[in-house]
Amino acid sequence: METVLTYRGRAITTDDVQFIRDLIDKHSEASRRALSKHLCEAWDWRQANGSLRDQVCRSMMLALHRADHIKLPPVRCRPNNPLAQRSKPKKVEIDSSPIDMSLSELGPLQIDLVRRTAEEGLWNSLVETHHYLGYTQPVGEHLKYLITASDRPIACLTFSSAPRHLGPRDRFIGWSAQARRSNIRFLAYNCRFLILPWVRVKFLASHLLGRISRQISNDWQQQYGHPVHYLETFVDPSLFAGTCYRAANWEYLGLTTGRGKDDLTMKQNRTLKEVLGYPLTRKFRELLGCVN
């Protein structure tokens, strides 16, 4: 059997192509969306949480269609993309009087998961207003943490699904391409970390990284049905030294290529970022499918 396409780790053979052609003929009145669901069910192609991999399957079928391996029915409708049309978070006014004290003086910290809660709008607003990158919707699975002290917000963090390909990280872990495809869901990417600008508390940032690293795997398990074993982030060295990550024992792994995930030119088009990582267990390589 000849492989005609490899998509998201799945090899599509000539026999698979014939199966898809037969499925299209059998459901000749079905839409592209319905066909992708039929195929997912036939192949039992599912996400880690058991849901059908409908969007991935639809993209794979479109790639086969564009390569003239199959012929899909005409597009019936083009639904609006809610992410493209998403408006920026509205600014929420909060007490911005200075908090300038030691970590012990700050008192007990409350760390709350706020995704899909009444506090998510506040989290989005704070990140949009005060983080240098602003707010963008996190990719895939994600958690949002809001940290408060004496009922005042002081920090925001979010972790999302990790990039599929990241050279320094992949070389450090030492996994195969197949192991990476199978286990990438067990990594989480810290895409935003904000200490509010009027908060000046020494060691707060590294303290929060340590606190959250001890609970995030359980939080992920409760939200998505699986743990995470490794954390990673990018630091722009032209803007930051990444001191809080290093103080929290995150390890420097190398630099990005500066090309971005959708690059087709093989040329640098953005600032090189430092890649930092943090294993949540000593057995992380074993849990991520590495073979000794």
Same structural domain, 57 and 109: no
Q: Does residue 83 belong to any structural domain of this protein?
A: no
Q: Does residue 195 belong to any structural domain of this protein?
A: yes
Q: Does residue 25 belong to any structural domain of this protein?
A: yes
Same structural domain, 32 and 120: no
Q: Does residue 158 belong to any structural domain of this protein?
A: yes
Same structural domain, 52 and 115: no
Residue 269: strand, helix, or coil: coil
Helix (H) or strand (E) holding 205: helix 204-224
Q: Does residue 270 belong to any structural domain of this protein?
A: yes
More confident residue, 76 or 162: 162
Ordered DSSP codes for 26-62: HTTT--HHHHHHHHHHHHT-B-TTS-B-HHHHHHHHH
What does the pLDDT read at residue 263?
A: 45
Q: Does residue 40 belong to any structural domain of this protein?
A: yes
What does the pLDDT read at residue 55?
A: 83
Residue 262 has pLDDT above 80, yes or no: no
Same structural domain, 117 and 40: no
In tens, the pLDDT along 7-54 reads: 776 789 999 999 999 999 999 889 999 999 999 999 998 876 678 888
In tens, the pLDDT along 60-83 reads: 999 999 999 999 998 877 666 555
Same structural domain, 57 and 175: no
Q: Does residue 86 belong to any structural domain of this protein?
A: no
Considering its fold, how many domains does the chain have in total? 2
Q: How far apart are CA 123 and CA 126, in angstroms?
A: 5
Residue 161 has pLDDT above 90, yes or no: yes
Q: Phi and psi dihedrals of 257, rounded to 5?
A: -85, -15
CATH code: domain of residue 168: 3.40.630.30
Domain extent, residue 48, equals 3-66
Kindly state the percentage of the chain with pLDDT values over 70.
91
Same structural domain, 171 and 27: no
Same structural domain, 29 and 164: no
Q: Does residue 35 belong to any structural domain of this protein?
A: yes
Q: How far apart are CA 163 and CA 112, in angstroms?
A: 25
In tens, the pLDDT along 204-261 reads: 999 999 999 999 999 999 999 999 999 999 999 999 999 999 999 999 999 988 765 5
Same structural domain, 110 and 230: yes
In tens, the pLDDT along 235-250 reads: 999 999 999 999 999 9
Which distant-in-sequence residues (6+ apart) come within 8 Å of 178 by Cβ?
A: 9, 289
Same structural domain, 135 and 43: no
Same structural domain, 42 and 176: no
Same structural domain, 55 and 110: no
Which distant-in-sequence residues (6+ apart) come within 8 Å of 139 by Cβ?
A: 160, 161, 191
Q: What is the pTM of this model?
A: 0.75
Same structural domain, 132 and 59: no
